[in-house]
Structure 1
Amino acid sequence: MSKHKIFASSLAIGASIVAMTGSALAQDAAAPAPAPEQAAEQGGAAPVSTSDIVVTGSRIVRDGYTAPTPVTVATTEELSRTTPSSIPDALNKLPQFSNSLSPSKSASNFSNAPIHGNVLNLRGLGTPSANPKGPLRTLILFDGMRVSPTEYIGTIDTNVLPQLLMQRVDVVTGGASAQWGSDAVAGVVNFVLDKKFTGIKGVAQAGISDEGDNANQRLGLAVGQDFAGGRGHILLSGEYSNNEGMLRSDRDYATKGYSYVGSVVGCTKLASEPASVCAPGGARNPYTIGSNILISALAPNGRITASSVAGNPYVGQVINNDGTTRPFNTGTAVGTTGFQSGGDGYQIPTTGAAVIPLTTYQAFGRLSYDLTDDINAFVQGSWSRSDLEYSTQVNALVPSSQGVTIYKGNPYLSSALNSALTSATDSYTVGQYDAGQPTAIAKERTDYWMVNAGFTGKLGGLDWSATYSHGDSKHILANSGLYDSKKLYAAADAVVDPSTGQITCRVLLDPTYASQYAGCKPIDVLHGDPSKSTPEGYAYATGTSRYRASIRQDSFAVNLNGSLFDLPAGPVDFAVGAEYRKQTLNLTSNADPSLLDTAAERSAYFAGLRGVPATTNFYWLTNVGTAHGSLNVKEAYAELAVPILKDKPFFRELSINGAGRITDYSTSGTVETWKVGATWKPVDDLLLRATLSRDIRAPNLFELYSGAQSGIGIVNDLQTADGSYGSGLNQNVNTVTSGNANLKPEKAKTLTIGGVLTPSFFPGFSLSVDYYKIKVTGLIDTLSSQQIITNCYNAGGSGVAECGLIDRATPTSLPSLVHIVPANIAFLKTAGIDFDASYRTAMGDGALSLRLYMNYLDKFDAQQYAGAPIAHYAGVSVVGSNPAGFPRWRGNFSIDYSNGPFGITLSEQYIHKMRLDIPGGPVPIQFVDDKVKAVWYTDLAMRFTVPQGNGNFELFANVNNLFDKQPPIIPGTVPGVNLPTNIAVYDFIGRAFTAGVRFKF
């Protein structure tokens, strides 16, 4: 059955189930549900309801109050109408969010860190230049309460929140640490719960791409009911979603081997010029897109990379499937040393996931009860499970870390190769990449649960609350089918057992060590795919790297707000509160690199083996260190809103607002945050506002206490020599990243100035325009291995801190290891303008609604450490293994028309043209063509409402990327790491369909 038929069948089954359920439940519905809320405007330009609303930009509640901090408010009805997959997916279409993470916006070659959830990135401030572990500068709230981390690296997967019971989402697009605490540097995203929902609602839908992949399904049901005469209320919901994902090879342009390479073969420089002018992307060797680009260091079936015998004629040759050798086919030369077009090189295969398959389960329940007329008690809990499964990089034998040594007498050597070795201890080093062996599979599971309980009430005209929250996340990963280094080197060192004449592992003939390697089967890496030539040996040599992490948070908070006294212009309002929070992190692993960081430890672990490279770890990939730590936070805040003038000429309203917070971290001491703001209405139709704030982000537990995490990646090392200093090599280099207990909080200054226009002469129209400027100092960041190597080279090979982070056997040999450590070394500046406009009016017998979100990015500058060049990101599509995009203009415009039961929404996303760059280097990177054209995406949504009893069914259909706009070709600089486009910015799935039914009674 085709995927299109599967899509239709699953949709029909889901719709039938919902229809039968809805019909049965509708018979018992006591009253129709409240009418859906209308979408609100930014900054409170249009109220969501007539009752008092907690404006997330402030802790103060006041009827008609407009916070000086810009707040974008969107109802979940509006978000799900245009993007039915999830609320976070819909938010990521808004221009305020950029470079967020999701299963379609993160690479899947490695599984060292859980970065595949739906992690929101407000303003792009959580886009470190080198660290891909996720946005950490956006505070996520659930109904005003801080959400604990869902992953041990400190990120929050917003998919865990109960979407069916969300009423709206408030997005504070300015610093808010004084009101809400750490992490609110870029702003706050508050998912507001519909606590009073009464009735039954649900959804059943299915989707698929026009190419027949990326199939997805979603089912959900929620109920709400009063009890005890209306004093109590109960909410329950359950949701299931599944996305089957897609492979890179599912898109034709991903199979072309595109990569950026130097455009000039044999580049020569003037004597007065630095070597970097001829490096790929240098002034004399600009980047160009090459096709069928391969890495020359190895060949898929295998290549002899070295020999202990000087002048051995087989070094450099390719190993054929029959064990013979032939000269390495160098293909067509390109301007990047170590790369070639065609021939015998290798690339990361396209069998990896472009969209990682993801299945999620959610459950939520809430019980509230009015103990008295003034006191309400509540308890609520949520649980979610996320399962991901994807293939990581294939098993490889990379000489710098995992190449195997084949000694004379190995029975798998051809007679010619064996004869070229003279003594019994002579050997070859063999490398191999993707000879056809099975891919390694990563399975991730995150179980997350959160409980909130507390009391809210009124006392003498004041509102108060006391709450307790507990969050608990358990993340497990198993990366199976990886080369287990200890077993691999035992199996690869094969000999003939003189007593039996059978091929066996050499170490089994040594009685001192035989028991340690019981069950060893020899592996043959000299005849192509070892899983076929020696299946038992391959099975023995592979294993599963595992780690398990838990992060917990307990939080107690008390809040009090209301009016102190009245002034002529109105009441003076205040909010005060205190919070205590404790977090603990525990991460365990069966492949902790720190257990092999001394010669004695390595000697004991690899006892009895020979030919093990000095940087070999437990597994080919996924060597995750342990992490254990805890912290506690004590904080108190106060906020005050003072009206100055009201109903005066040119001062229809004038008020000031201030907030301050003192926070004490057990790990880094005390820090203060503050905010001052003002609003001014010169006339009824115009509100002007401004704020200035100091905000912070404290280092999280993983940044402080993480153990060594191993990695590997291609670098261009100008210091290596294949004949002359500065000639450069492109090869894999091992890295180790670890935490830093001496980290301090990041500090930010945020300025916003803007206004809201609601002209009385143009009913239904509102416009807000807000300028923002943010500067973050002491920003926690890490240099990439490439930056560390390049900075050391530019300093002449010594004399800077980066050189101390590089391990080399000799001054001009390829690094054996690069150490990466986070530090408060960076700063970041960004500035821009947000536009939010809406218009609603009657049209014929229907209603017309228009909404525009637009952002202009004026500046996004970053400096990774003192003295480094300032990287200018505004208007740049960043080329690399972790691409990011910073278009000057981004926008989302939607037109919605409804007439009776029928409704249609047409939306346009706009991504402005960009230029290609790799910012932050000592010299500008050059491209033969650095222009990326502007891109428009058109989405279409249609709905039809069918009344049923006291409620209705809504049949809906969506087409995403209606005109099947293909992404621009923007490969990376290492072939095969990602799809050859900027996955952080552009849609690569293409035209996709979703259809389903929603019901509400």
Structure 2
Amino acid sequence: MRGRASSLFLTGTALFTMASAAAAQEATPPADAQSGQASAQDIVVTGTRIVRDGYTAPTPVTVASTEELVKATPSNIPDALNKLPQFQNSSSPSRSSMNFANTAAHGNVLNLRGVGPLRTLILFDGQRVAPTTYLGTVDVNVIPNLLIQRVDVVTGGASAAYGSDAVSGVVNFVLDKKFTGLTGVAQGSTSQRGDNQGYRFGIAGGFDFGGDRGHLLLSAETFKNNGMLRSDRKLGRGAYSYVGSTVGCTNPNAAADPTACSPGGSLNPYMIASGVTLSAASEYGKITSGPFTNYRFDANGALVPFSNGTATGSPGYFVGGDGYAISPDTQAVAPLHTYQAFGRASWDFTPDVTGYVQGSFSRSDLSYTSLANSLVPPTAATLYSGNPYLPAELQAAFTPTSQSITLARYGANSPRPHTTERTDYWMVNAGFEGTLADKWKWNVAFNHGDSNFSVAQEGVWDWQHFYAATDAVRNGSGQIVCRASLSADPTIAARYANCQPFNLLATGDAYASQPGYDYVVGTSRYRARIWQNAMSASIQGALFDLPAGPVDVALGAEYRRQSLRLTSNANPADLDTTAERSAYFAGLRGVPSSVYHYWLTNVGEASGDLSVKEVFGELAVPLLKDQPFAQELSLNAAGRYTDYSTSGSVETWKLGATWKPIRDLLLRGSVSRDIRAPNLFELFAGDQSAISLLVDPVSGITANVPQVTGGNPDLKPEKADTLTFGAVITPSFLPGLSLSVDYYRIKIKDAIGTLSLTQIVNNCSQSGGTAPECALVTRDTPTSFPSQIRVAPANIAFLETSGIDFDASYRTELAGGNLGLRLYASYLDTYQTQQSSTAPVLEYAGISTISSTPEGRPRWRGTLSVNYEVGRVGVFLNQQLIGKVKLGIPGGLENGLGQTIGAVGYTDMTLSYRLPVANGHVEFFGTVNNLSDKDPPLIPGTIPGVNIATNFALYDTVGRAFTGGIRFKF
């Protein structure tokens, strides 16, 4: 099938590119009389503030019609956009890791060019969409789908036109403001394996009122998908991992090559293993210190020797044995339920003045099962002599100098924490627009966005309760109670009066059914409110006429204010001093220094505001028209001055030109300075806690390490220099054919970045303890495993990426029907990053990165669609190609990697039948995604069982899936 997919793609490419090799096009959306779409003379092209008849912007714009997007992917518009090659490593419910609940990155977050979602500006009908998450990103599930006419993707810098964040470009969801009639959809879906079941229902209408002076738009829709577990697919059940292949590796030249024996080092190349377990803990508890060290408890509660299994070249990683494996019964695709409502009313007060008000509400609910509660060092539990749950043989083994044991237990078969995320989002726009003297267009607008994002993770260890309940003793009456409840301090005794003792050694159903279990688990909650108020005013029109046409200008001013309030019941800052920890855990013993309120999910609070004042201008100058070798020659310039209350002032600009030497060829180019200002969370975030698995080169230990991140109020805006140039070909000898090709290059300096936990530790180790990163690593002794690592954002990074975009379309009549072909393709020439001035420059182009959050950047990506309609029948085929990638860990140890994963193709097919009804139609349709049921390639990470063993950022993990339903329009 791979050969057929590639052949189909190459055939389409050859058809479109002919002698030029292919293209990327600023297309004009097809007219649709029934939808009330504006004529070509009224089209506002995203990427410029100036609109005039026939104007073609120098910055490339890809226009994707909603009709074609939903045919390829009927679930929703964001899912369809992520199949376009311009988007890379976007996150969505099927493209994210659901292991943790301490980050707001699980919605549909678009990532243009793969340079990060914070560098992609999202617009709704030309208005900036306020952030929906406290991270500053926009979950585009909040955009109402049914009344979206098209999506414009500006694939070049546009900060001069739209302000901050438009570094990689702009995604503008364009509203069909003139729609009149009634439209709707009802559909159901499922995968071939019976999971990922879902539905979508929606209805929208457009109505004139007030003698055609007013127009009203209304829509309501809902979408649901039940998701799937990792265990529902073979690649999620095998506990695959890359491990070192040299068992007992010895390094004869450690001074010259200290990492030679590390996994992936020169003497210990990586290999793939299945059934990998981690020896740090076991299912029912491994004793790691005290009597019976390296014994474990079995399913019957008996003490038996712990067997590591078959050793690998990765410390702590074994095949088989009694170690623990991360449970596969966690989410590979998170269940998602969205609700959307939208309304818009406009009124023509005079022939020259129109007012409007519009508002939308959306609710997005995500729910998922995440990693099981664990007691893995350094957060193992200490059980003391006298604990009535200890077996007699263990109690008898205590000595005057050994009065406790440390127990490491990973409860893969115990109840797992369940997380619910909800985003409630309001967006209100109001304004006036009109014309002056039939030459000038003006508008004033107010925009308000308000997001309430809440997370609740239930069933997670409450450490204060946990360490109180596991320290059980008998009282004077022989009853088993919590030791802290017997404290001589009345305050402590009262605090734990309701404590229920917890038998950590229980097995089977008895483990979770004991009263103590309900006492030791709780709910970690956090809530963020992000709101934005924005006001803008602009005017554009012709200053004067030149022989080649009018000189157009656009001028405007904007004011924007944002606010973030993040609250949490598990703020790490509440326990960041010795005094605070002593008060919180008073009366308890055996509490590790690394724990906070809850296991894993401890989100710090944040509070901050910023305001932005901006003025901008844009000028379009036609130099030549209808001259030999100059059918058109024009220049475009834009500038913006921005003043941030947090980081000062900054200027952005753009220069562009278009030249049409002959009627069939247009050449275009632009250079620009673009910015991304630090957002509120980057500036004002409180400490956030998490854990990550670390292979420590100092102690030689592989274990989870506590990680703390926070904000940096001294951050400055990132600066990007963007270059684009290309050509658009519309051959007159073949009407209906459009070809284009555009080169782009983006260089970002002073980029906001954070060194990874591994980079921090390795940089410190390789410097011999002298690097600045060493201040971020806390060790109890110089050679012990870290007890904490701190990371924070800074303006330290550099990023450069370049490539070529291709776009081609062709429409014609064929055998009594209408044939439409569309090709999107992209070639990635380079993607280089440098995390700091002392770090190496890393190349990611053509690489599938091996990590717990995999990313992939194939050099070639493309989508070819074929749409044929004859009579009432329609056939739509969509062929997606993901080019070959090489497996690697840029900047890390990667000996044994370097394998090439060949190109992968996915075919989607839609069959439809359109039945005329009254003044409209009803369309019955059926879609099959991943028609050939292609399995994703096996690409494990370096931690077994954390994710389904493939690069979910690149490849489909669901398999063949079906959607059927009806659409109507009257």
Deviations 1:82-139 (A, max 9, x none): 111111111111100010010011111100012111111000010xxxxxxxx21100
Pair 529,515 (structure 1): closer, same or farther in 2 beyond 3 Å: farther
Amino acid across the alignment from 2:464: K
Q: Which residue of 2 aligns with 1:283?
A: 266
Deviations 1:470-510 (A, max 9, x none): 0000011111111100000000111111x211111111111
CA contact (8 A) 1:885 1:984 kept: yes
Q: Which residue of 2 aligns with 1:605?
A: 584
C-alpha deviation, 1:920, in angstroms: 2.4
In the aligned structure 1, how far is the partner of 2:513 from the partner of 2:873? Answer: 64
1:757 aligned to which of 712, 729, 733: 729
Q: Which residue of 2 aligns with 1:414?
A: 391
CA contact (8 A) 1:399 1:429 kept: no
1:193 aligns with 2:175: yes
Q: Which residue of 1 aligns with 2:843?
A: 872
In the aligned structure 2, how far is the partner of 1:693 from the partner of 1:374? Answer: 35
| Structure 2: stretches of 5+ with no match in the other structure | 1-22, 32-38
Pair 664,305 (structure 1): closer, same or farther in 2 beyond 3 Å: same
C-alpha deviation, 1:46, in angstroms: 6.9
Aligned to 1:278, what secondary structure does the other structure show?
A: coil
Aligned pairs, number: 937
Q: Which residue of 2 aligns with 1:820?
A: 791
In the aligned structure 1, how far is the partner of 2:953 from the partner of 2:30? Answer: 34
1:479 aligns with 2:448: no
1:390 aligns with 2:368: yes
C-alpha deviation, 1:526, in angstroms: 2.4
Which has the larger displacement, 598-607 or 510-519? 510-519
In the aligned structure 2, how far is the partner of 1:588 from the partner of 1:338? Answer: 38
Q: Which residue of 2 aligns with 1:68?
A: 58
In the aligned structure 2, how far is the partner of 1:306 from the partner of 1:616? Answer: 19
C-alpha deviation, 1:275, in angstroms: 2.4
TM-score by length of 2: 0.95
C-alpha deviation, 1:941, in angstroms: 0.8
C-alpha deviation, 1:785, in angstroms: 1.3
C-alpha deviation, 1:47, in angstroms: 6.7
Q: Which residue of 2 aligns with 1:4?
A: none
1:719 aligned to which of 681, 698, 704: 698
Q: Which residue of 1 aligns with 2:668?
A: 689
Q: Which residue of 2 aligns with 1:782?
A: 754
User: CA RMSD, aligned part only?
Assistant: 1.4
1:54 aligns with 2:31: no
2:303 aligned to which of 321, 325, 344: 325
Deviations 1:122-157 (A, max 9, x none): 00010xxxxxxxx21100001110000111111101
Pair 531,859 (structure 1): closer, same or farther in 2 beyond 3 Å: farther
C-alpha deviation, 1:553, in angstroms: 0.2
CA contact (8 A) 2:633 2:657 kept: yes
Aligned to 2:694, what secondary structure does the other structure show?
A: strand
CA contact (8 A) 1:45 1:756 kept: no
Q: Which residue of 1 aligns with 2:3?
A: none
1:881 aligns with 2:852: yes
CA contact (8 A) 1:95 1:855 kept: yes
Q: Which residue of 2 aligns with 1:742?
A: 714
Aligned to 1:787, what secondary structure does the other structure show?
A: helix
Q: Which residue of 2 aligns with 1:169?
A: 151
Amino acid across the alignment from 1:412: Y
Moved over 6 A (4+): none
Q: Which residue of 2 aligns with 1:156?
A: 138
In the aligned structure 2, how far is the partner of 1:104 from the partner of 1:729? Answer: 33
C-alpha deviation, 1:409, in angstroms: 1.1
Q: Which residue of 2 aligns with 1:707?
A: 686
C-alpha deviation, 1:435, in angstroms: 5.1
Deviations 1:307-362 (A, max 9, x none): 3xxxx4x1121122444322211111111111001111112210110000010000
In the aligned structure 2, how far is the partner of 1:964 from the partner of 1:157? Answer: 29
Pair 534,58 (structure 1): closer, same or farther in 2 beyond 3 Å: closer
2:926 aligned to which of 942, 957, 962: 957
In the aligned structure 1, how far is the partner of 2:901 from the partner of 2:41? Answer: 48
2:533 aligned to which of 549, 554, 557: 554
C-alpha deviation, 1:283, in angstroms: 1.9
Amino acid across the alignment from 1:336: S
In the aligned structure 2, how far is the partner of 1:982 from the partner of 1:47? Answer: 36
CA contact (8 A) 2:344 2:359 kept: yes
In the aligned structure 2, how far is the partner of 1:88 from the partner of 1:618? Answer: 36
| Structure 1: stretches of 5+ with no match in the other structure | 1-39, 127-134, 721-727
Map 1:443-522 onto structure 2 (within 5 A).
Answer: 443-460=420-437, 461-497=439-475, 499-512=476-489, 513-522=492-501
Q: Which residue of 2 aligns with 1:423?
A: 400
C-alpha deviation, 1:699, in angstroms: 0.6
1:112 aligns with 2:97: no
Q: Which residue of 1 aligns with 2:744?
A: 772
In the aligned structure 2, how far is the partner of 1:641 from the partner of 1:697? Answer: 25
Aligned to 1:90, what secondary structure does the other structure show?
A: helix
Deviations 1:29-68 (A, max 9, x none): xxxxxxxxxxx99324677533321110211001100000
In the aligned structure 2, how far is the partner of 1:353 from the partner of 1:253? Answer: 13
Map 1:325-364 onto structure 2 (within 5 A).
Answer: 325-364=303-342
Amino acid across the alignment from 1:697: R
CA contact (8 A) 1:437 1:531 kept: no
CA contact (8 A) 1:320 1:527 kept: no
Q: Which residue of 1 aligns with 2:122?
A: 140
Deviations 1:951-975 (A, max 9, x none): 1100011000000010000011001
CA contact (8 A) 1:234 1:366 kept: yes
CA contact (8 A) 1:43 1:72 kept: yes
In the aligned structure 2, how far is the partner of 1:41 from the partner of 1:533? Answer: 58
Amino acid across the alignment from 2:413: G
Aligned to 1:367, what secondary structure does the other structure show?
A: strand
Q: Which residue of 1 aligns with 2:650?
A: 671
1:371 aligns with 2:343: no
In the aligned structure 2, how far is the partner of 1:531 from the partner of 1:616? Answer: 26
In the aligned structure 2, how far is the partner of 1:777 from the partner of 1:685? Answer: 38
Aligned to 1:603, what secondary structure does the other structure show?
A: helix
Amino acid across the alignment from 2:192: D
Q: Which residue of 2 aligns with 1:946?
A: 915
CA contact (8 A) 2:24 2:805 kept: no
In the aligned structure 2, how far is the partner of 1:818 from the partner of 1:171? Answer: 39
Pair 706,500 (structure 1): closer, same or farther in 2 beyond 3 Å: same
C-alpha deviation, 1:981, in angstroms: 0.3
CA contact (8 A) 2:29 2:63 kept: no
2:91 aligned to which of 81, 98, 101: 101
Pair 177,733 (structure 1): closer, same or farther in 2 beyond 3 Å: same
C-alpha deviation, 1:162, in angstroms: 1.1
C-alpha deviation, 1:795, in angstroms: 1.1
In the aligned structure 1, how far is the partner of 2:145 from the partner of 2:753? Answer: 33
CA contact (8 A) 2:25 2:741 kept: no
Aligned to 1:371, what secondary structure does the other structure show?
A: strand
Map 1:787-826 onto structure 2 (within 5 A).
Answer: 787-796=759-768, 798-826=769-797
Amino acid across the alignment from 2:183: K
C-alpha deviation, 1:425, in angstroms: 7.5
Q: Which residue of 1 aligns with 2:416?
A: 439
C-alpha deviation, 1:531, in angstroms: 5.4
Aligned to 1:655, what secondary structure does the other structure show?
A: strand
1:91 aligns with 2:73: no
C-alpha deviation, 1:270, in angstroms: 2.9
Aligned to 2:96, what secondary structure does the other structure show?
A: coil
In the aligned structure 1, how far is the partner of 2:301 from the partner of 2:84? Answer: 57
Q: Which residue of 2 aligns with 1:245?
A: 227
Q: Which residue of 2 aligns with 1:23?
A: none
In the aligned structure 2, how far is the partner of 1:347 from the partner of 1:858? Answer: 39
In the aligned structure 1, how far is the partner of 2:670 from the partner of 2:28? Answer: 18
1:211 aligns with 2:193: yes
Q: Which residue of 2 aligns with 1:7?
A: none
CA contact (8 A) 2:572 2:596 kept: yes
Map 1:242-321 onto structure 2 (within 5 A).
Answer: 242-271=224-253, 273-307=256-290, 312=291, 314-321=292-299
CA contact (8 A) 2:281 2:408 kept: yes
